[in-house]
Amino acid sequence: MKTLHTEALLLRSVDVGESDRILHLLTPRTGRLTVVAKGARRSKKRFPGTLDFFNHLRVQVERRRPTSMPQLQLARLERTFDGIRRESRRFALGCYLLELLDRLSPEGGRAGDLKALFDFALGSLTLLDETRPDAALRTLLELQALDALGLRPELGRCVRCGTPIGAARSRGSSGSGGQSSAAALGFHIADGGPVCCAEPGEMLLPVHAGTLRALEGGLRLGLPQLGRLSLGGQALAEARALVGRFLRFHVGIELRSEAFLEERLTPAGAGGRLAHRDSNADSNARRA
Ligand SMILES: [Zn+2]
């Protein structure tokens, strides 16, 4: 790369020295791209109000030598997502998604995959700009993020023997609402899918077939429609546990913005952390 012109979203910003900033960008051409913005802190003329989170940018980046860090030359504002900055739930989930993308986005890859990842990031900010999120929307956005990052869990068949889940175990279940009577399946976090033929004593997360089907439905929806999918109380609690643990397995650490997000998406007066999620799930189910 010598000169790159592309769209970009800011994922992370670190001040260095007296006046510079190191920026992690997400672009549809490169995936995650680390650049230095010389003079970004001293000169307001060079990047006037553009190098903020929740801005859709058009940037020009130059790399003078193959070994040096690319330099941000220009950043023009395409669109700003003010609706996210103004409301604490949207802001908390927006920060969390940017941090997640910063941790998991690849540097380089297939052109189609990088474009799809950028489209997901831009689409999810557009959605949050207009929608106040709840625990269900958070879960579905996390699942779509995993899909866009190439880390989609298996939801339809056993990851070991390939048996379709609906055929094997879901008799008596009729969608996410009527699943209480059906036996729970086991989801293997490290293997990334349900297991119908587990060895005795294996650690599996209990989940009903209806919950897996609801999550598959969430993956088929476009981002603008995501807020319309309602998850029932049990389905939401199971989906939250499954997607949360699967994501944690891939991220490897607790994201810095996660505690803030949990606080924002939790009704006042709820108890401990796991209880938080349950009571949140129940209140969302009542609203849904
Ligand atoms: Zn199996």
Q: What is the pLDDT along the chain (288 residues), one digit of tens a residue?
A: 589 999 999 999 999 988 999 999 999 999 999 999 998 888 777 788 899 999 999 999 998 888 889 999 999 999 999 999 999 999 999 999 999 999 999 999 999 999 999 999 999 999 999 999 999 999 999 999 999 999 999 999 999 999 998 765 444 444 444 444 467 899 999 999 999 999 988 999 999 999 999 999 999 999 999 988 888 789 999 999 999 999 999 999 999 999 999 999 875 544 333 333 333 443 444 443
In a domain, 193, yes or no: yes
Task: Give the per-residue pLDDT at 229.
Answer: 86
Judge whether 94 lies within some domain: no
Q: Is residue 118 part of a domain?
A: no
> 107 CA distance to ligand 1 centroid (A)?
35
User: Of the candidates 28, 53, 87, which is a domain's last residue?
Assistant: 87
Q: Could you tell me the residue range of the domain that residue 207 belongs to?
A: 134-287
* Structure confidence at residue 67 (pLDDT): 83
Please check whether residue 12 lies inside any domain of the structure: yes
Is the pTM higher than 0.75?
Answer: yes
Centre of ligand 1 from the C-alpha of residue 186, in Å: 10
**Residues 141 and 239 grouped into a single domain:** yes
8 A C-beta contact, residue 31 and residue 13: no
- Return d(Cα 95, Cα 256) in angstroms, integer: 9
Indicate if 148 and 280 belong to the same structural domain: yes
145 and 254 fall within a common domain:
yes
CA of 162 relative to ligand 1 center, distance in Å: 6
pLDDT for 190: 96
Same domain, 76 and 219: no
158 CA distance to ligand 1 middle (Å) = 5
What is the enclosing helix (H) or strand (E) of 76?
strand 71-80
Distance 164 CA to ligand 1 centre (A): 9
pLDDT at 148: 97
Q: Is residue 121 part of a domain?
A: no
pLDDT at 183: 74
Q: Are residues 239 and 164 in the same domain?
A: yes
Domain boundary among 24, 55, 87: 87
The verdict on residue 127 lying in a domain is: no
Q: Looking at residue 284, what is its pLDDT?
A: 40
156/277 same-domain check: yes
- Give the per-residue pLDDT at 215: 96
Residues 74 and 200 in one domain: no
Flag whether 102 is in a domain.
Answer: no
Specify the residue for token string 């956005």. Answer: 141
What is the model's pLDDT at position 269?
44
Structural domain count, the chain: 2
147, 275: one domain: yes
pLDDT score, position 232: 76
Buried b (16+ CB within 10 A) or exposed e, 67-86: eeebebbebeeeebbebbee
Q: Which of 25, 52, 87 finishes a domain?
A: 87
Instruction: Give residue 92's pLDDT.
Output: 97
Q: By the 8 A CB rule, do 106 and 31 touch?
A: yes
